[in-house]
């Protein structure tokens, strides 16, 4: 259980490296987790080859959801959108380096959900649960 509060998570929660908003952005998407009120927005810029050149997140939430957003956003810099589409749950858990119960798993995966919904071009409120299955 102490694992949950690895230094990395607390550190990224308190001192996020990729917090911000891009105006304009090539891709911008936001979503929330109504169960706990966590809300995350992710903005991306891509070059002509669909490679992510800039990525930031904003919003509010618990340490797990915000640290995971910071790490996820960092991990996609230099990736192509097709590579981003391939990202899954395991990759996020690897970034966080912890095991999570079902409730906190939802916190951890919110940023990936937002990211993939944005990259796939989903409309607002469209169900994106399948994207992180």
Partner 1 sequence: MKAVTTHSNVLDPEKIRKDFPIFSKEIHPGVPLIYLDSAATSQKPLAVIEAMDAYYRHSNANIHRGIHALAEESTANYEASRQRIADFIGAAKSHEIIFTRNTTESINLVAHSWGRANLKSGDLIILTEMEHHSNLVPWQILTSEIDLRLEFIPVNAEGLLDLDEYKKLLTQNPRLVSFTFMSNVVGTINPAKEIIHLAHEAGALTLVDAAQAVPHFAVNVVDLDADFFAFSSHKMCGPTGLGVLFGKEALLDAMPPFLGGGDMIKRVKLRSFTTNDLPYKFEAGTPAIAEVIGLGAAVEYLDDIGMDTIAAHTKELTAYALERLEEVPGVWLFGPSIEHKAGVAAFTFEGVHPHDVSQILDRDGLAVRAGHHCAMPLHEKFDLPATTRASFYLYNEKQDVDRLIEGLYKVKEIFG
80: left (phi over 0), alpha (psi -120 to 50) or beta: beta
Q: Does 16 bind partner 1 (CB under 8 A)?
A: no
**Within 13 Å of residue 71, how many CA atoms lie on the same side as its CB?**
24
Which member of 60, 77, 99, 126 binds partner 1 (CB under 8 A)? Answer: 60
Q: Does 97 bind partner 1 (CB under 8 A)?
A: no
Residue 105 gets which letter from DSSP? H
Q: Does 5 bind partner 1 (CB under 8 A)?
A: yes
- Residues at the site binding partner 1, with contacts judged by CB under 8 A: 1-2, 4-5, 10, 13-14, 34-39, 60-64, 103-104, 107
């Amino acid at each position: 259980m102490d694992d949950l509060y690895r230094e990395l998570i607390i550190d990224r929660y308190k001192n996020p490296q990729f917090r911000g908003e891009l105006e304009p952005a090539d891709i911008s998407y936001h979503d929330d987790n109504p169960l706990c009120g966590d809300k995350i927005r992710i903005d991306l810029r891509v070059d002509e080859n669909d490679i992510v050149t800039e990525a930031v997140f904003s919003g509010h939430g618990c340490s797990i959801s915000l640290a995971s957003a910071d790490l996820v956003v960092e991990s996609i810099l230099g990736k192509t959108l097709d590579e981003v589409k391939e990202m899954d749950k395991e990759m996020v858990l690897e970034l966080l380096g912890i095991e999570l119960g079902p409730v906190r798993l939802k916190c951890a995966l919110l940023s990936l959900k937002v990211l993939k919904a944005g990259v796939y071009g989903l409309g607002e409120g469209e169900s994106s649960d399948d994207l992180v299955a």
